[in-house]
Amino acid sequence: MGDYSDQLEFYEKSLKIRQKALPPNHPDLASSYNNIGTAYYDMGDYSKALEFCEKAHKIKEKALPRNHPDLATSYNNIGLVYNAMGDYSKALELYEKSCHIREKALPQNHPNLATSYNNIGGVYKDMGEYSKALELYEKSHQIRERALPPNHPDLATSYNNIGLIYNHMADYYKALEFYEKSHQIKEIALPPNHPDLALSYNNIGGVYKDMGDYSKALEFYEKSHQIYDKAVPPNHPNLATSYNNIGLIYNNMAEYSKALEFYEKSHQIIEKALPQNHSAIATSYNNTGAVYSNMGDYSKALEFFEKSHKIYDKALPLNHPDLALSYNNIGGVYNNMGDYSKALEFYEKSHQIKEKTLPPNHPDLATSYNNIGAVYNDMGAYSKALEFYEKSFKIREKALPPNHPDLATSYNNIGAVYNNMADYCKAIEFYERSHKIVEKALPPNHPDLATSYNNIGGVYYHMGNYSKALEFYEKSYQIREKALPQNHPDLATSYNNIGAVYNKMADYYKAIEFYEKSHKIIEKALPPNHPHLAASYNNIGEVYKAMGDYSRALEFHEKAHKIREKSLPPKHPDLASSYNNIGAVYNDMGDYSKALEFYEKSYQIREKALPQNHPDLATSHNNIGAVYNKMADYYKAIEFYEKSHKIIEKALPPNHPHLAASYNNIGEVYYHMGNYSKALEFYEEGLEITKKALPSNHPDLAIPYNNIGLVYDDMGDYSKALELYEKAHQIYEKGLPPDHPNLATSYNNIGLVYKNMADYSKALEFHEKSLKIKEKALPPNHPDLATSYNNMGTVYFEMGDYSKALEFFEKSHEIFENALLPNHPHRALPYNWFGKIYRSMKDYPKALENFEKCLAIWKKALPDNHPNVAFAFSNVGDVHRLISNYEKALAFHQIALGIQENVQCNPLECAMTYINLGEAYREMKDYSTALTYFEKGLEIREKKLPKNHPDLAVVYHNMAKLFLATQKYSMAMKNVQQGIEIAQEKLPSTHHHLLEYKETFEKIRMKM
């Protein structure tokens, strides 16, 4: 601050001489006080500046007539200090007093009158009243045009100020027009290295910056800098401003190391040139903090923002707008750190200052409401977010021209909330309003236009309209490619979003290609621990998970987690997401204890970091519920799913897709419990919401149709199941690419119904369609391919073509062996089917060997009381029955029954074991015990299944054989006829069950 202290020293020496030599009210004493006040003003010490300007004014009031022009100058100077202090009403009052004197004392076209109008215009500008400011700047300009020569520097100032207003109003071409008029005068009137020429280049650069033309902005800022470099001393504040502006461009271009380099150069000058507590030093710390915030180094950002705040706190009045800005910046970092309560606290402090100091329709108040809305949006409090975004919008609507980009921002933010609320029509409506403004207000390659296309693409993505989403994401990318440097993070965002669409379309290699392009940019552009790098690893991990490559998926999710652990606070929601993603991989790998461990870690963070009813907490409960569902701990699953459902009901609109998913999940548990009426109730509730919430061709609409079809299939209502599966299929056909795995799933489900209907050629046709898609869409070792081979094997099994069945189950087995962990439950499935095939081929030792392998895997992989374990015990028991080892058979069936009777499993599974026990006792000729078990099995099936379900026919046939053996021929005939009636209605005439029933019928008839 050398120059200012020297200046002050000389002004004070002058004052001392004048104090001794002159009377106390001499005008020269006023001049001295005024000069000292000006020095303090330049040093940013506004209270001292005010003290001396007011001393000067008191002398002038006594010494001069009421309307003397010097008195006007005095009012003007005091107004200038109040304006710098952010006390706009006081500044206006003083400037208007000055103006009244000048209007009386001076001719109409006097340049000082122009200065007055100019200064009043400046306050209206700071108050955000741009039309008023423009009116006054134009009055000032008209006077100067009449009073001054055409190339006078004050005319240039006039054009400059009008340009400044147009820039604030986002009328950038008008702003450039006036800045260039100003510049032309300065070029003629001033020497080539005059600092005012540098200021002119600087202002033009500022417009190009706001237009998003960063290379042009840099060109003008560098021209400005070259002049300052020659014209002012090396520690002049203007040189610091110049470095600062160049830093700002590099920050916008995401060249953060360059930005820091220039901000530090600026800071070094300011530290030397200005007093310790000058607000410009605070601004410098603030700018450096903003770069660290963009770099994701939040602790460093906070450190600089707090340094800035301490200076503002000392240097500025309590309610100065710059203090509000400081609180705002600190709030922004806490928001990025996921500390929403802290973010709100600082945003509200900022808002309180603005409410006191600014007019009710000032644009900065709108920004304040907007920021608070953003926190509520991140907190999942969407109604609150909307309330604040709408308050922001109302101010901007009154304060700004109809095509101002800030109005577009408001529409955009409201659209984002509707998108989060899954009100996609509303979201599109607001995003398109935003887009229309941006198209009119900004150049065709402005980055904000790219953001606009990107946001519309995001809605289409959520609507499941992937071709539309791609179209808009690609439009966004094309603009960013032209407007931004090659390694700008926004380009990475574009690649990332395109990758996300390909992932949804199950074009996994394309998805990986775009995610890796995104990742390469992020690696170059951002520090190694930036949260965006973690997000990038996470996205790649998600594709590998979808591809069934779980080890790669874990590798990428763990990389993401390590970065987040280093870069984020321990309670940040993104850390919870990381744990959640790792848990999801373990869940797919069948390692349920590990999945639970990570899901619970995720939940613990969310519980501390988020409000009670945040949707992410519902996700945590849901995921834990899903693991318990897979573990067949159905009561626990229902408990967690209901916790999730309660939060979703409170947090989201009544027709949100997440609510439909919640009903669907609860329905799935009831389905596994064999409670089909309850399952249908929940699935249908989910369907009704999905129909309201999503477009008619959204792929997610197929899910409830598919689930309801599954219930009808298990209930034996095959025509209903087929109808629903075909509806699901039609939706997938319209909404997805022809090789999407969901289409394969759809063909598979239709194939299963045809298999259950014993229409094996049809079943094979659909399973083969399913397989062809999976072979194109998935890697060769994907578990879903194994499922396809498995399903085809079941058809061949039912057809009695055991060699073909074995061929397909062996293919399935090979994939599961390569793709899954040794104890994954799915690895047991081929062994189960090998057992069934060998049992049907009467190779009982081989059957036993495979059923025992199946049992061993399930015992390791699943809880002891899992229904699948019971199922395996029952299968082993059945082989023992077939080799007449009845003691062992009964022992294994009883173990199965012990599990089934003590857990809430599907009662139909229990019924199967009762029937197997009945068969064992029948063969042992313990007919009364056999009958007891057959009746228990029959009672369950009659309650749970439609009257004409083929599984009822099986029991009737078993009982007919029992009654035949006990010579109760009329009872035998009654049961076998019931079995035949069902089979004739539901099964094809060649089905082996129907043929077997008819054979038994003949035996009974002959006995009668």
Q: For tokens 């330049």, what's the residue? A: 42
- Of the candidates 481, 582, 496, which has an alpha carbon nearest to the alpha carbon of residue 532? 496
Q: What is the pLDDT of residue 671?
A: 93
For residue 133 the two structure tokens come to 């400011």
- Of the candidates 397, 399, 424, which has an alpha carbon nearest to the alpha carbon of residue 410? 397
Which residues are CB-neighbours of 137 under 8 A, at least 6 positions away?
A: 117, 118, 121, 158, 161, 162, 165
Q: What is the pLDDT of residue 85?
A: 82
Res. 369: pLDDT tops 80: yes
Q: Read off the pLDDT of residues 632-656 as tens digits, 9 standing for 90 and up.
A: 899 999 999 999 999 999 988 898 9
| Cα 997 to Cα 960: distance, rounded to the nearest angstrom | 9
Q: What is the pLDDT of residue 1008?
A: 85
pLDDT tier, 3 (very low <50, low <70, confident <90, very high otherwise): low
Coil, strand, or helix at residue 949?
coil
- Of the candidates 791, 885, 798, 895, which has an alpha carbon nearest to the alpha carbon of residue 844? 885
pLDDT tier, 249 (very low <50, low <70, confident <90, very high otherwise): very high
Q: What is the pLDDT of residue 119?
A: 94
Q: What is the pLDDT of residue 750?
A: 97
| Cα 156 to Cα 186: distance, rounded to the nearest angstrom | 6
610 Rama class: left (phi>0) / alpha (psi -120 to 50) / beta = beta
| Cα 77 to Cα 91: distance, rounded to the nearest angstrom | 9
pLDDT tier, 1 (very low <50, low <70, confident <90, very high otherwise): very low
| Cα 658 to Cα 642: distance, rounded to the nearest angstrom | 13
Measure Cα distances from 387 to 77, 394, 617, 687, 808 in Å: 42, 11, 23, 30, 59
Measure Cα distances from 763 to 149, 485, 752, 758, 768 in Å: 94, 55, 6, 8, 9
pLDDT tier, 253 (very low <50, low <70, confident <90, very high otherwise): confident
CB 982 within 8 A of CB 949: yes
Res. 670: pLDDT tops 60: yes
- Other CB atoms within 10 A of residue 842 CB: 10
Q: Read off the pLDDT of residues 164-198 as tens digits, 9 standing for 90 and up.
A: 999 988 888 999 999 999 999 999 999 999 999 99
Measure Cα distances from 529 to 515, 556, 562, 997 in Å: 18, 14, 9, 70
For residue 426 the two structure tokens come to 């509303």
Which residues are CB-neighbours of 558 under 8 A, at least 6 positions away?
A: 582
Res. 268: pLDDT tops 90: yes
Q: Read off the pLDDT of residues 44-76 as tens digits, 9 standing for 90 and up.
A: 888 899 999 999 999 999 988 888 999 999 999
| Cα 736 to Cα 362: distance, rounded to the nearest angstrom | 48
Residue 717 φ/ψ, nearest 5 degrees: -90, 80
Q: For tokens 């919401």, what's the residue? A: 689
Res. 661: pLDDT tops 90: yes
Q: What is the pLDDT of residue 400?
A: 87
For residue 642 the two structure tokens come to 């209901």
- Other CB atoms within 10 A of residue 561 CB: 22
Residue 788 C-alpha from the chain's centroid? 34
What pTM did the predictor assign? 0.84
To the nearest whole number, what is the mean pLDDT of the chain?
93
Mean pLDDT of 259-267: 96
Q: What is the pLDDT of residue 624?
A: 98
Domains of the chain by range and CATH? 274-360 (1.25.40.10), 906-1007 (1.25.40.10)
Q: What is the pLDDT of residue 936?
A: 96
Mean pLDDT of 393-407: 91
| Cα 928 to Cα 950: distance, rounded to the nearest angstrom | 25
Residue 600 φ/ψ, nearest 5 degrees: -70, -35
Q: What is the pLDDT of residue 509?
A: 93
Long-range contacts of residues 452-456, Cβ cutoff 8 Å, at least 24 apart:
452/408, 452/412, 452/476, 453/479, 454/493, 454/494, 454/497, 455/412, 455/415, 455/416, 455/419, 455/431, 456/428, 456/431, 456/432
Q: What is the pLDDT of residue 806?
A: 97
Res. 678: pLDDT tops 50: yes
Cα angle for residues 313, 316, 319 (degrees, 5° grid): 90
| Cα 82 to Cα 88: distance, rounded to the nearest angstrom | 7
Please report, as a single letter, which amino acid is at residue 172: Y
For residue 249 the two structure tokens come to 């461009």
Cα angle for residues 445, 448, 449 (degrees, 5° grid): 55
Q: What is the pLDDT of residue 977?
A: 97
Q: Read off the pLDDT of residues 600-641 as tens digits, 9 standing for 90 and up.
A: 999 999 999 888 889 999 999 999 999 999 998 999 999 999
Res. 525: pLDDT tops 90: no
